[in-house]
Structure 1
């Protein structure tokens, strides 16, 4: 077993909390947990702690919640913890260079992709959307660039054709903590030499995972069915792919798509045409193919399998009509 390290942990959502849990159960010593200030949530806009803070509080760990690290007082507070290393997982705050170099071993980050592919805010979603067959986590030494630091360790996960961002997120939430603990053991070894061990990223192979935008969720039936299928899976659980259905009275409904399946189709129907609608799904013509919608959600309702949906809304999805209703 390696020498225990004194660790500052910085993270926000449940994904980060699962990494913190692994550290709590390890032989390492957590000297402080950093997370963003509590934010208003719910109808009452009550200040609510993030998942990382909740877990840290349960285990009586010191919690720091600076707005940023621009002030010298915030920088000095972190330095006073005299940490060996700072572990950053989905923290959401930019770390200035003075923070990156404060711990003895610097700062390391758990990133949800196989760098240099998919640097940025939405690596899980963009890898699915692009049709990648594998992803994983990369533990990297942080520098002043955006996910550009030297790579310490990679762990790979297969992307299955049924994966959504939610299911892939769970896979990486298991993979990441194990990779993190392995990395800390490597770095805790007295013979560890970053210059000899770490691997620089090839910037020519880098791709960028732009933050998701709600506008992207609107489905374009002119796309190939495989592309649409990947988008639908990539946007679960947020922002959820959707289309706008217009009734004959011009009333519009935003319908979310929670499950679908691309299918071969060689007909010449216009894109968006409903080819069939029964308990097996609503088959819609797309560019050079078709997609079968399996689970939809009407505004204000829960997601329903198509068989249940058609019981009450079969008139909306008549064979031969356009999936968007009246145009």
Structure 2
């Protein structure tokens, strides 16, 4: 088998663009790029190419943007690329069996979790939210199931108590690019072993929504801090302060208050943190260290208190529609 493979690439967001960039720097030949149709962005909803399309344009690669891969013409377009393998990274379209069978070596996926944990749409954020201490990328031989294919290569990385969704996203994007090149190098020399996923430990990472980002202060402090970090930079955890939204960007569990307090009560502020009573009886404390008022930018709480300290008077109950 040749040391160089002809690769059809399918992906859409920044996470996928990192893998495409790595492939373009490898010895393998990217012969076509499939990506989602341009979407409206900004206030004017101007049609904007995906990050993958933007990179493909820079390298003068053939670009295809079907709305579905179930259509015969889309499948014929892929077949005409004569690719040895298709690499799929956060593409956003379902690959029917006819597409999975088109490249002679099948379709490989870069998935941002340690499968079988966190199959599905939002593995990066769900891992942080759940308090996992490790994440990673799995290179998987795709089949017709939802992230159920055999594992070809796994690379892991730690999650700390301060890791945000954005930080883990960027780290895994880079790791995924390196891993897919490594997998293709091994595939080109017939030196890649497929391992079925274990049946134990399967979890599903449901899609993120803005609605779930509103914090419930009856939950434990550690759980709330994990949600704040998981939802940074999107959809961003939030609550209400005097009836207006307050976005919460960074948080840590603080020492317990020791006194039962209505959950969501703003306690006496620390110099660099908002102290919020939480947990079922309000004896736990969540420290918010970075926040954003309406119309403002995300700021360290120390700066918010220096500039707008009157907004954060102790005794207020966060999460209320209006002031009491």
TM-score (norm 2): 0.94
Aligned to 1:156, what secondary structure does the other structure show? Answer: strand
Superposition deviation, residue 308 in structure 1: 2.6
| Partner in structure 2 of residue 132 of structure 1 | 132
Q: Distance in 2 between matches of 1:318 and 1:298?
A: 14
Q: Distance in 1 between matches of 2:37 and 2:264?
A: 46
| Partner in structure 1 of residue 174 of structure 2 | 174
Alpha-carbon contact 1:113-1:136 (below 8 Å) kept: yes
Superposition deviation, residue 2 in structure 1: 6.6
Aligned to 1:203, what secondary structure does the other structure show? Answer: coil
Alpha-carbon contact 1:2-1:185 (below 8 Å) kept: no
Aligned to 1:243, what secondary structure does the other structure show? Answer: strand
Which of 255, 260, 265 is equivalent to 1:273? 265
Q: Distance in 1 between matches of 2:300 and 2:186?
A: 48
Deviations 1:132-159, CA, capped at 9 Å, x for gaps:
0001000000000110000001001011
Superposition deviation, residue 73 in structure 1: 1.0
Alpha-carbon contact 1:278-1:310 (below 8 Å) kept: no
Deviations 1:49-86, CA, capped at 9 Å, x for gaps:
00101111111111111111121111111001111000
Which 4+ runs in 1 deviate beyond 6 A? none
Which of 218, 223, 238 is equivalent to 2:214? 218
Alpha-carbon contact 2:214-2:238 (below 8 Å) kept: yes
Alignment of 1:183-198 (within 5 A): 183-189=183-189, 191-192=190-191, 197-198=193-194
Alignment of 1:1-327 (within 5 A): 3-189=3-189, 191-192=190-191, 197-246=193-242, 252-265=243-256, 266-287=258-279, 288-324=283-319, 326-327=323-324
Aligned pairs, number: 318
**Residues 215 and 261 of structure 1: CA distance in aligned 2, closer, same or farther (over 3 Å):** same
Superposition deviation, residue 278 in structure 1: 4.3
TM-score (norm 1): 0.94
Q: CA RMSD in A?
A: 1.6
Aligned to 1:276, what secondary structure does the other structure show? Answer: coil
| Partner in structure 2 of residue 249 of structure 1 | none
Superposition deviation, residue 304 in structure 1: 1.9
Query: Unaligned stretches of 5+ in structure 2?
Result: none
Aligned to 2:261, what secondary structure does the other structure show? Answer: coil
Superposition deviation, residue 311 in structure 1: 3.7
Superposition deviation, residue 289 in structure 1: 1.4
Deviations 1:171-215, CA, capped at 9 Å, x for gaps:
1112111111111011111x44x7xx2111123321000000111
Q: Distance in 2 between matches of 1:43 and 1:158?
A: 38
Q: Distance in 2 between matches of 1:169 and 1:69?
A: 27
Q: Distance in 2 between matches of 1:223 and 1:229?
A: 10
Superposition deviation, residue 312 in structure 1: 4.4
Alpha-carbon contact 1:278-1:306 (below 8 Å) kept: no
